[in-house]
Structure 1
Amino acid sequence: MTVTIDSIIEQMGRLQQLHESLLALSMRKTEILKSNETEALQDILVQERKHVQGINTVEKQRMASTAAWAETAGLAGEAPTVSEMLEVVEGQERERLQEAYDAFILVLADLKQQEVLNAELTKQSLQFITMSLDMLQPSLTNMNYCTSSQGGEQKRSVFDSKA
């Protein structure tokens, strides 16, 4: 089986499309986190999981293709990275591979930035929930119906522990 740079570029294009779609989901997730829609968040997480599975499948195909290309190109070792391929490939193939690589890297950078934002929103939401629970839960010293002979250790539920 001879693998050409074209098939690798095509797989990188599919990876880019999947990551762009994942980025769109991540942006929707940001809006859902802001509006606190837990059911919609569950749906987004299921869709993200499916995208990640698709990405893993295409990435395995790309790695197999690069390994086969490396073998036909006479390169020893494991499947080369795209950066390593760019050092070996010349001419128009190199330009097309470089364009596909650059476009893919830009999408990855945008996705990473969006996911950092989502992680921060999730963290803030959890902090708000913890603070709200702390405010709603009365302290034992403020309870009038507790007798003084019931001293000892305060019992705490699993939900009171710090994450």
Structure 2
Amino acid sequence: MAVKALFETLAELTRQHQTLASLAKEKTETIKQNDVEGLRLITKQENEALKTIRRLEGSRLQAVADIIQAEESDLVPAETSISDLKPLLPEAYHEPLERLQVKLGDELRTLQRQNELNQRLIRDSLQFVHMSLDLIQPEPEEVNYSRPDDKTKPDGEGYSMFDSRA
């Protein structure tokens, strides 16, 4: 039963990461169009998918713990990889488990690349905004608190820290 739960959980994790990758692609187009409202909606959908992924990750850990307990292994569920788990499973499960592992890994890499692209686009957009603001509103000149007709030297010029009369 735990093996079936593990397979179902891994398949659902893969689907949720596909959803996140799809949302990341939508986000790219939304960023390009400067659609702030669309970006907010996509972020909300991403948060929902992330909640589901967290829940599924808990289910995956439970399934791994159940398999480890059933096989009386001393592996730690949170640290156990699929490769570590294979020897505990019948040979017939090895290949399907590897396919799920590869598919999930591919989805994670796709999502990572898309998120890196989105980060670059956002960073470039912010740099453009800052540059535009600098052009529109340049830095103010230094503020001068002395009278314009005052010919004395500013503080610190020509004066020594030591009193020469001493």
**TM-score between both structures, scaled by the size of structure 2:** 0.81
**For the residues of structure 2 that align with 1:140 and 1:93, how far apart are their CA atoms?**
70
> 2:55 aligned with 1:64, yes or no?
no
The two structures, once aligned, show a CA RMSD in angstroms of 2.1
Q: In the alignment, which residue of structure 2 is the partner of 1:37?
A: 35
Query: Are the aligned partners of 2:68 and 2:88 in contact in 1 as well (CA < 8 Å)?
Result: no
Residue 137 of structure 2 aligns with an amino acid whose one-letter code is: Q
**For the residues of structure 2 that align with 1:138 and 1:96, how far apart are their CA atoms?**
62
**For the residues of structure 1 that align with 2:133 and 2:88, how far apart are their CA atoms?**
59
Which stretch shows the higher mean deviation, 35-44 or 74-83? Answer: 74-83
Query: Are the aligned partners of 2:2 and 2:66 in contact in 1 as well (CA < 8 Å)?
Result: no
Q: Structure 1 or 2: larger helix share? A: 1
> Could you list the per-position Cα deviations for residues 78-128 of structure 1 after superposition, in whole angstroms to 9, with x for gaps in the alignment?
212222113443422011111111111111110011001001101101111
Q: In the alignment, which residue of structure 2 is the partner of 1:52?
A: 50
**For the residues of structure 2 that align with 1:77 and 1:139, how far apart are their CA atoms?**
61
1:141 Cα offset (Å): 3.0
**For the residues of structure 2 that align with 1:139 and 1:106, how far apart are their CA atoms?**
48
Q: Which has the larger radius of gyration?
A: 2
**For the residues of structure 1 that align with 2:139 and 2:72, how far apart are their CA atoms?**
72
Number of positions where the alignment pairs a residue of Structure 1 with one of Structure 2: 146
**TM-score between both structures, scaled by the size of structure 1:** 0.82
Give the unaligned 5+ runs of structure 2. Answer: 148-166
